[in-house]
Amino acid sequence: MLAALIGYLGDFDLAEESVAEAFATAARRWPAEGTPASPVGWLVTTARNRAIDRLRRDRVLAAKLRLLEATRPAVGEDEVDQNEIPDERLELIFTCCHPALATEAQVALTLRAVGGLATDDIAHAFLVPAETMKRRLSRAKTKIRDAGIPFQVPAADRLPDRLDAVLTVIYLIFNQGYSAPGEAGHLAAEAIRLGRVLAALLPGHPEPRGLLALMLLHHARRRARLSGPDGQDLVLLADQDRSQWDQRQIGEARAILAGITASRGPYLVQAAIASLHTADSVDWPQVAALYAELAALTGSPVVRLNGAVAVAEAGDPAAALAIVDGLRLGQYAYWHSTRAELLRRLGRGAEARAAYQAALPLAGSEPERRFLRQRIAEC
Amino acid sequence: MQYALLIYTEPKVMESLSEAEREALSADYYALRDQPGVLGGAGLQPVTTATTIRLAAGQPLVTDGPFADTKEVFGGYYLIEAENLDRATELAALVPALRLGGAVEIRPILGQAS
């Protein structure tokens, strides 16, 4: 609904205020007069008419009003059919994830405008004061208006790049929810919902479906991922209680992956890897091959690090250690802990212990630090 | 909408060009000036000619050199008319400075009816 209004008005704030007014009017009138035949249509039309009233009152925007009235005449509130409301969610998503906005603003704006989350809720999930988030959203909306960021789906030649930005934003939202399940846990489900919307709106593009499958596969394991009285301990994949996995989500992800035969982008390859991880017995050589495919697509050293883990699991920890030692990721906790794990398996206990200790100050969360301390004690 | 395309270049790169390369570059700048949507613009003399003035204790203080001492310097601008930021970006992508490691800042002009 908000998407339709923003598309019509080209103004986030005016659209939000008008929608709020329309809901307030509905709350007053529907109990007495009955719910209209098309409630959403009624709300959109009412919001649209309220917006036009506001613009009419605002003489500075007289020119804009003339334009509006010339192109789309105001209609009676009971005359609309819901099917006439254009679905402009895709335009809204691309506007919110426009590269001329800072990534943190893209994330916040997508959650607010597309996801419909409250500003306070977004602030809480990203651990920033509500005032900061309010300013961040307000600055982004002002830039969209004043810099002329268009409300449209990019042209075909620009679409792949712009789609990457949208996928990144949705995956960032998911990871925020996944890595901080306490404050932001609901963001993971919200990201999956956004992923579904995007996949449905862009049926010709396989990568949104790849991202959706990837998120479903991670999310399916959320209950088995942490243990201990307060969910403080990280449980490695091999040690997870599989009866806690959400088989419905895993099945949905596998069905998505099975339905795609086109060339694979990074999200699809990651989803294929995650899918192999949920098999009863993991095909590690195949996982290692997929990581090699992903590394070729992304050129990422972190991907090569993950590939090394698969090489070790496939039975060759010495070859894995050689890969890891060739990567310059000394600032990354997982590089140290992976080295430590490989050294431990190769029977080089003292070096393993030193590597676990190097990982400790770089670890990002308390469950990770607890896991590392446990390993240090065992070495 | 109207936008200013503010062009930033590296003086070192400009100085390293041959006479022929400089002429070709200049021709590219003039060609862009004739693109539809380009309303005007100007190129500036090298930054070594810059003079900066500010107020110090209420009195004008004139100093030699540009406002900001950075590797890239402001070298000129185009004024363009474009439907939205995406169209403005397409025009900005044609600015020759980009090929030489420079950058173009796209700024909407103040005081337009939006």
Q: pLDDT digit string (tens) for B56-109?
A: 999 999 999 999 888 999 999 999 999 999 999 999 999 999 999 999 999 999
B90 to chain A, minimum CA–CA distance in Å? Answer: 11
What average pLDDT does this structure show over A166-172?
95
Residue A25: which pLDDT band, with cuts at 50, 70 and 90? confident
Q: Using the beta-carbon criterion (under 8 Å), do B84 and A148 form an inter-chain contact?
A: yes
- pLDDT for A70 equals 47
Say how many Å lie between the first and final Cα of chain B, rounded.
8
Question: Angle A39-57/A2-9 helices, nearest 10 degrees?
Answer: 30
Best of B80, B81, B86 to disrupt the A interface (most A CBs within 10 Å) is B86
- pLDDT for A236 equals 80
**Joined tokens for residue A218:** 């991670």
Mean pLDDT is lowest, of A15-24, A54-63, A168-177, B23-32, for: A54-63
Question: Which of 3.30.70.1060, 3.30.10.20, 3.30.360.10, 3.60.10.10 is the CATH number of B2-108?
Answer: 3.30.70.1060
Burial annotation A32-67 (CB, 10 A radius, 16+ → b, else e):
eeeebebeebbbbbbbbbbbbebbeeeeebeebbee
Asked if residue B4 lies in contact with residue B107, where contact means CB atoms within 8 angstroms, the answer is: yes
What average pLDDT does this structure show over B12-24?
92
Of A63, A149, A158, the CB nearest to B85: A149
Q: Using the beta-carbon criterion (under 8 Å), do A64 and B88 form an inter-chain contact?
A: no
Best of A11, A68, A141, A146 to disrupt the B interface (most B CBs within 10 Å) is A146
Q: Is residue A71 over pLDDT 70?
A: no
- pLDDT for A67 equals 52
C-alpha A18/C-alpha A43 separation (Å) is 10
C-alpha B86/C-alpha A313 separation (Å) is 48
Asked if residue A50 lies in contact with residue A22, where contact means CB atoms within 8 angstroms, the answer is: yes
Asked if residue A143 lies in contact with residue A149, where contact means CB atoms within 8 angstroms, the answer is: yes
Which residue is associated with the tokens 């070298």? B75
Q: Which residues pair with B43 in a beta bridge?
A: B76
C-alpha A202/C-alpha A352 separation (Å) is 47
* A363 DSSP 8-state letter: -
Which residue is associated with the tokens 């070859």? A319
Question: Angle A247-258/A266-277 helices, nearest 10 degrees?
Answer: 130
- pLDDT for A320 equals 96
What average pLDDT does this structure show over A364-375?
88
Residue A357's alpha-carbon distances to A132, A312, A347, A366, B114, in angstroms, are 36, 21, 17, 15, 58
3-class state of residue B45 by DSSP:
coil
- pLDDT for A227 equals 79
- pLDDT for B113 equals 54
- pLDDT for B60 equals 94
* A259 DSSP 8-state letter: T
Residue A79: which pLDDT band, with cuts at 50, 70 and 90? low
- pLDDT for A264 equals 85
Mean pLDDT is lowest, of A80-94, A189-203, A293-307, A350-364, for: A80-94
Mean pLDDT is lowest, of A228-232, A272-276, A280-284, for: A228-232
- pLDDT for A77 equals 54
Percent above pLDDT 70 for chain A: 89
**Residue among B51, B68, B70 at smallest CA distance from B60:** B51
Q: Using the beta-carbon criterion (under 8 Å), do B83 and A145 form an inter-chain contact?
A: no
Q: What are phi and psi of A154, to 5 degrees?
A: -60, 155
CB–CB contacts below 8 A, A to B: 32
Q: Is ipTM beyond 0.90?
A: no
What are the boundaries of each domain within chain B? 2-108
A100 to chain B, minimum CA–CA distance in Å? Answer: 9
Residue A76: which pLDDT band, with cuts at 50, 70 and 90? low
C-alpha A15/C-alpha A13 separation (Å) is 5
What are the boundaries of each domain within chain A? 2-86, 330-379
Q: What are phi and psi of A29, to 5 degrees?
A: -90, -35
- pLDDT for A177 equals 87
Q: pLDDT digit string (tens) for A134-161?
A: 999 999 999 999 999 999 999 998 998 9
- pLDDT for A73 equals 45
Q: What is the mean pLDDT of chain A?
A: 86
Q: Is the pLDDT higher at B29 or at A262?
A: B29
Asked if residue A178 lies in contact with residue A188, where contact means CB atoms within 8 angstroms, the answer is: yes
Q: Is residue A69 over pLDDT 60?
A: no
3-class state of residue B55 by DSSP:
strand
**Joined tokens for residue A351:** 């070096």
- pLDDT for A58 equals 61
Q: Using the beta-carbon criterion (under 8 Å), do B113 and A154 form an inter-chain contact?
A: no
C-alpha A107/C-alpha A174 separation (Å) is 11
Which residue is associated with the tokens 């990019």? A154
Q: Using the beta-carbon criterion (under 8 Å), do A145 and B114 form an inter-chain contact?
A: yes
3-class state of residue A285 by DSSP:
helix
A149 in reach of chain B (CB within 8 A): yes
What average pLDDT does this structure show over A11-34?
78
C-alpha B45/C-alpha A86 separation (Å) is 52
Which residue is associated with the tokens 């959203």? A137
